[in-house]
Structure 1
Amino acid sequence: MTILDEINNNKQAEIADAKSKISQEELKLSPFFKRKTNSLKAALNADGASGIIAEFKTKSPSKGMINETAEVTEVTSGYVAAGVSGLSVLTDHNYFGGSFENLAKARMTNPKTPILRKDFMLDPYQVYEAKAHGADLILLIAASLSKEEMLRLSETAKELDLEILVEVHTEEEIEKLNPLIDLVGVNNRNLKTFEVDIENSVRLSKLLPTDMIRISESGLSSVDNIRYLRKAGFNGFLMGENFMKTEDPGKACKEFIACI
């Protein structure tokens, strides 16, 4: 069993528990259901966009604790001040130290910035959760879903006016894409070995539809990485650990963007 299999098994149990406590209809009563969502796709296409999607992440299975003292309001507002195109907020608690509280705080602090709910999405109920806590888009991990499951989740997202970022790792996973998807992220980290290879982004980018917005994820740590991937056709760059491991993630992000 891979770490992804383990996470997904635990996530199914979490979903069942959440459904027993809060119904889908109750989630729809959230004030966030009334707000107009922000578009990450538009933000990445804007003139002068940095392309950086900065992530609030305090720990991970591969690195352990990254930053246990970081406060989401301070960090995400620092990211926005630095000039990011979007934010990513982890909501998985067991493996990444995330929470819905962090997502909601990030939304309240940064009302005009696109925010991704970063989690392991397996059930349409989770899409409602994302909307109820202020997300603008969801992440669908192709390795965790069948083509039919991905379509069902995509349809739910569109019903709720949320954008969809699909994460792929292999050529075979590209075949699961559907017309509702807004952005495709290529994860440079092998989910079975956790090894990072930025060339994975370049290889898979050549196989994606020409009109697809591309985002490179994981293992990005230098300005040269960003310049190289931009030449390869990438519009966005999801970065978390590189900033979060510092004492002042917002400052680190600002200095990084200034050098791009």
Structure 2
Amino acid sequence: MKEKKPYLVLKKLLDKAPPARDFIGALKEANSRTGFPDLIAEVKKASPSRGVLRENFDPVEIAKAYEKGGAACLSVLTDEKYFQGSFENLELIRNSGVQCPLLCKEFVIDAWQIYYARVKGADAILLIAAILPDLDIKYMTKICKLFGLTALVEVCSLFAPLETFELDIANTKKLLQGERGQKIREKGIMVVGESGLFTPADIPSIPLVNNFFGN
């Protein structure tokens, strides 16, 4: 993919791209308006643990339904190997008139992917601490800031190994406890309880998240 669209080509496309939408601003606005934790709804065809989730998969139709239902932002799977996603889905959603900021959910290992995601319409990028050295995260975060993108840094692997794809909503609660949680609050970092929420009943099970988002 890099050979087909090298950096020089992407930089020219970036010059013509509209500004990235405010991902964090959209989450804060939704929380302020409703008083509830904001929702990042996920456009995902399949997962390694559950297989194909929806055979008749229309990313635009799903994205519009999420937006109509009140989602603050959307997460779009672009990984092909494990989630049967694509950057084309991201582009289709962005060009469909959907106004929600879009998170590109991908296994990012190369800065080129950030350039490509921005060209395809991403407003935020997922960076996974389990697969990126600290220096790479700092470098890629700087690139995100340069493009006006939000960097969502996934740290769930502090509590569970990434290779199992195991989900535990208690991880977010653990993250906000003790000295680590105090530092997060002091720095004003927005915390996302990522994945593992299937019904509204799951949300009260992580009360520290409710308190954090309410602040």
TM-score for the superposition, normalised by structure 2: 0.86
Distance 1:29 1:96 in 2: 30
Q: Does 1:197 align with 2:182?
A: no
Q: 1:193 to 1:34 in 2, by over 3 A?
A: closer
Distance 2:138 2:14 in 1: 27
Q: AA paired with 1:29? A: K
Runs of 5+ unmatched residues, structure 1: 1-17, 172-187, 237-260
Q: AA paired with 1:74? A: E
SS in 2 for 1:214: coil
Q: Give 4+ residue runs of structure 1 displaced > 4 Å after superposition.
A: none
Deviation at 1:158, TM superposition (A): 1.1
Q: AA paired with 1:225? A: D
Provide the residue aligned with 1:125 in structure 2: 112
- Within 5 Å, give how 1:109-124 maps onto structure 2: 109-124=96-111
Distance 2:4 2:213 in 1: 39
Provide the residue aligned with 2:24 in structure 1: 41
Report how many aligned residue pairs link the two structures. Answer: 203
Once the two structures are superposed, residues 88-143 of structure 1 have per-residue CA deviations (whole angstroms, 9 ceiling, x without a partner) of 10111121111111000111124431100000111111110011000001000000
- Within 5 Å, give how 1:125-164 maps onto structure 2: 125-164=112-151
Runs of 5+ unmatched residues, structure 2: none
Deviation at 1:48, TM superposition (A): 2.1
Provide the residue aligned with 1:93 in structure 2: 80
SS in 2 for 1:87: strand
SS in 1 for 2:167: coil
Deviation at 1:166, TM superposition (A): 0.4
> Over aligned residue pairs, what C-alpha RMSD do you find?
2.1
Q: 1:99 to 1:234 in 2, by over 3 A?
A: farther
> Which of 36, 43, 48 pairs up with 1:61?
48
On the 8 A contact 2:48/2:165 being kept in 1, the answer is no
Higher RCO, 1 vs 2 (CA within 8 Å, ≥6 residues apart): 1
SS in 2 for 1:224: helix
Once the two structures are superposed, residues 154-212 of structure 1 have per-residue CA deviations (whole angstroms, 9 ceiling, x without a partner) of 111111111110000255xxxxxxxxxxxxxxxx8642333332211101122241011
> Which of 56, 62, 70 pairs up with 2:57?
70
Deviation at 1:228, TM superposition (A): 3.5
TM-score for the superposition, normalised by structure 1: 0.72
SS in 1 for 2:54: coil
Q: AA paired with 1:212? A: I
On the 8 A contact 2:176/2:208 being kept in 1, the answer is no
Provide the residue aligned with 2:191 in structure 1: 214
How high is the sequence identity, in percent, across the aligned residues? 35
